[in-house]
Structure 1
Amino acid sequence: MTKWRRKLQMNDRLLSILGLCRRAGKIVIGTDPVIESVTTGKSFIVLMTKDFSANSKKNILKASNNSSVKTFVINRTKDELGMAIGKYCAVVSITDRGFSDKIQELILKEQEQEE
């Protein structure tokens, strides 16, 4: 991806915060690590991309429903999320309360604007 396109993409506030979470080490990346993090109670919020596979989504939702972790499908693709955090993936969980609160606030604000 070209340099100018990356800068354009990083104007997205949600993706910027996810990149900051990655640099702070407060993010879990990938389906199996996220499920483990959710079941052990380390995660506060789970984010899935809009192009995440249905079978994996079912597994994540099952784990998060059992442990009452909030789960959101964000209106971003795997590529966009991967560019923000530096690793190609479709699901992440946040292990910090402050980051998770801010991310949830941004997602809810986005959903209000779409309606």
Structure 2
Amino acid sequence: MTNQEKAQQLLGLVRRAGQLTTGEQFTLASIRDRSAKLVILANDASDNTLKQFRDKTASYQISLDETFTKADLSAAIGMKRTVVAIKDAGFADKLKALLS
């Protein structure tokens, strides 16, 4: 099993644990209130979405990962999404380690 597959499984666990914020508006809100520890953005999102989240996470100094496609991200969490935020620092650190 590759690290990316392990990360996808971990994302599913994060969702079931209630530590995942999904959807663009909710993710932006979690960045603004600094509850997001890691933002995962699909690398095949629209140019506008990519720019918006790259700028926002850089501004608030929150880690951003663009490893997954929309299909990978959606399969991992069981719903169609382009961007998600992990709220738990432990889960975020583990995902960063798997994806680096």
Count of aligned pairs: 98
Shift of 1:24: 0.4
Q: Distance in 2 between matches of 1:27 and 1:36?
A: 13
SS of equivalent residue, structure 2 residue 44? coil
Q: Percent identity?
A: 30
Q: Which one has a bigger Cα radius of gyration?
A: 1
Shift, 1:46, TM fit: 0.6
Match of 2:92 among 94, 97, 100: 100
Paired residues for 1:50-61 under 5 Å: 50-61=43-54
1:50 is displaced (CA, Å) by: 1.8
State how far apart, in whole Å, the 2-side matches of 1:77 and 1:62 are: 19
User: Is residue 65 from structure 1 mapped to residue 58 from structure 2 by the alignment?
Assistant: yes
Equivalent runs, 1:22-37 vs 2, <5 Å:
22-37=15-30
Distance 1:44 1:80 in 2: 20
Measure, in 2, the Cα distance between the counterparts of 1:65 and 1:80.
24
The two structures, once aligned, show a CA RMSD in angstroms of: 1.6
| Highest RCO, 1 vs 2 (Cα 8 Å, sep ≥ 6) | 2
**Paired position in structure 2 for 1:82:** 74
Residue matched to 1:47? 40
- What is the deviation of 1:31? 1.3
Normalised by the length of structure 2, the TM-score is 0.91
2:99 is aligned with what amino acid? I
Q: Which runs of 4+ in 1 moved over 3 A?
A: none
Structure 1 stretches lacking a partner, 5+ long: 1-7, 109-115
**Could you list the runs of 5+ residues in structure 2 that have no partner in the other structure?**
none
CA–CA distance in structure 1, aligned partners of residues 90 and 70 of structure 2: 24
Q: How many angstroms apart in 1 are the aligned matches of 2:72 and 2:97?
A: 20
Measure, in 2, the Cα distance between the counterparts of 1:34 and 1:57.
13
